[in-house]
Structure 1
Amino acid sequence: MLKLLEEIPEETTVVLTGRRVPGELVERADLLTEMKLVKYPFEKNVTARERVEY
Structure 2
Amino acid sequence: MDAILAQIEANAGNAAGIGEAGLDFQDCKTNEERERQTASFKKSNRACKRTEQTSRCAR
TM over 0.5: no
What TM-score, normalized by structure 1, do the two folds share? 0.35
Higher relative contact order (CA 8 A, sep 6+): 2
Please identify the structure whose Cα radius of gyration is greater. Answer: 1
What TM-score, normalized by structure 2, do the two folds share? 0.34
User: Which is richer in helix?
Assistant: 2
